[in-house]
Amino acid sequence: METSATGPGSRSRPRPTWPELPGPVREGIERALGAAVVEAVSTPLGLTPGLASRVLLADGRRAFLKAAGVHRGPFEVEKLRHEARVLDALRPDTPAPRLLGLYDDGRWAALACTDVDGRPPALPWTADDLERVLDALARCAAATTPAPLGEPRFVTDWAADLTGWRYLASTPAAAEAARAAFPDHDFDLERLARLEAGWSVRADGDTLLHGDLRADNILLTDERVWFVDWPSACVGAPWLDLVFLLPSVAASAPAVDVGTILHTHPLTRDVAPETITATVAALAGFLVTVGLEPAPWYAPEVRAFQRAEAAAALRWLNGMI
C-alpha cells in the first residue's frame, strides 16, 4: 500500500490506473475478489512502477489493490507474490492490512488487502507521531514473534547490500564519488569496513520484520498505527526494523535523539552497543553507496532521499565511534 502525500515517492512518475490493465487481468482480479470493481482511485505516485489503487467493489467492500506485470520487471511480480504470502500468514493482532484476494496468471500478479483510511506521519516527524509509531513497532514485533514464515532470512537477504564500506575501500573511483557527495564527512574506509563486517553477528532471530519501514509505509488513524507495504518482509532480530527506521526519521527531524530512543525502547535497550554500532555502520555504508547509483525511471528523486538518510546515519554513527 503506497502513499503519495509524503516520503520519497512524492515526485515519482505516475502509476498505471485500473482501466489501463489488460481486460483479462481485470476480469481475473474481480473473480479473485468475488465482486466487480465499480470505482478505482489511483495512488499515482510511489517507489514501485505497478498499479496501486483504492477500489470500491460492487458488494460495498473497499480494498487496496496492487498489480504488476512482468513487462515492468519480473522482480515486481515476485514481490507481490511474497507480500501476499506474508499478509496471509500474519496474526490477526499484527498492525497490518489483511489479504483479501490474490490473482496470478504467471505474467501478471495482483493482491488486494484491507483499505486503511489513514494518513502518513507528518514530515518533519512530530513527537506525538513518533511516540505512537515507536509504541506500535514494539507491539508489531510481539505479534510477529515467532515468525509465521521461515524465509527469507534477513542475514541472507541483506548480506550483499550491507557491504558498502568494503566496496568503497576496494574501489577508489567510487570512494572519490562518495567523498564528493558527503564533503562534511572524513571517511576512514578501512576502519568503517572492519566495523561494518560485524553487523550480522546478532542479526538473526525469529521475528518477521517489515523490512522497509519509513514514513510512506506507515499510516495513522485516530485509533491505531498501521504498517503497510510488506514485500520486503524477512526474518531476523526484532530490533532491526527500529534501527533501519531511524535514519529516515532523523533525516526529516534532525533534533530527534536517536540515542535516547535506542537506550529506552524495549526492542533495543538490551541489545549490546557494539551490535548496534556495527549495524548502523553497515546501514550507513549501504545508504551512501546506493545513494550514488542511477535512479530508477519510476522514482527519479529516490536517490536524493537516500542521500539525506545517509547523511543522518553518518551523523548518528559519528556519535557512536
Q: What is the pLDDT of residues 54-93, one digit of tens each?
A: 999 999 999 999 999 998 778 999 999 999 999 999 999 9
Domain locations along the chain:
18-114, 127-318
Q: What is the pLDDT of residues 276-311, one digit of tens each?
A: 999 999 999 999 999 999 998 878 889 999 999 999
pLDDT at position 297 is 80
Q: What is the pLDDT of residues 150-173, one digit of tens each?
A: 999 999 999 999 999 999 999 999
Q: Which CATH architecture is the domain 127-318 placed in?
A: Alpha-Beta Complex (3.90)
Q: How far is CA 41 from the centre of its chain?
A: 23
Per CATH, domain 18-114 is 3.40.50.1000:
no
pLDDT at residue 9 greater than cutoff 60: no
The type of residue at 278 is A
Q: What is the pLDDT of residues 107-124, one digit of tens each?
A: 999 999 999 999 999 999
pLDDT at position 3 is 31
pLDDT at position 66 is 97
CA-CA distance, 287 to 306, in Å (whole number)?
6
pLDDT at position 270 is 96
Q: What is the pLDDT of residues 17-27, one digit of tens each?
A: 999 999 999 99
The sign one gets for the Cα dihedral 157, 162, 164, 166 is negative
Q: Which of 10-24, 35-49, 114-128, 174-188 is predicted with the least confidence, judged by mean pLDDT?
A: 10-24
Q: What is the pLDDT of residues 202-260, one digit of tens each?
A: 999 999 999 999 999 999 999 999 999 999 999 999 999 999 999 999 999 999 999 99
CA-CA distance, 136 to 116, in Å (whole number)?
16
What residue has cell string 564533503? 183
CA-CA distance, 195 to 166, in Å (whole number)?
10
Model confidence, pTM: 0.92
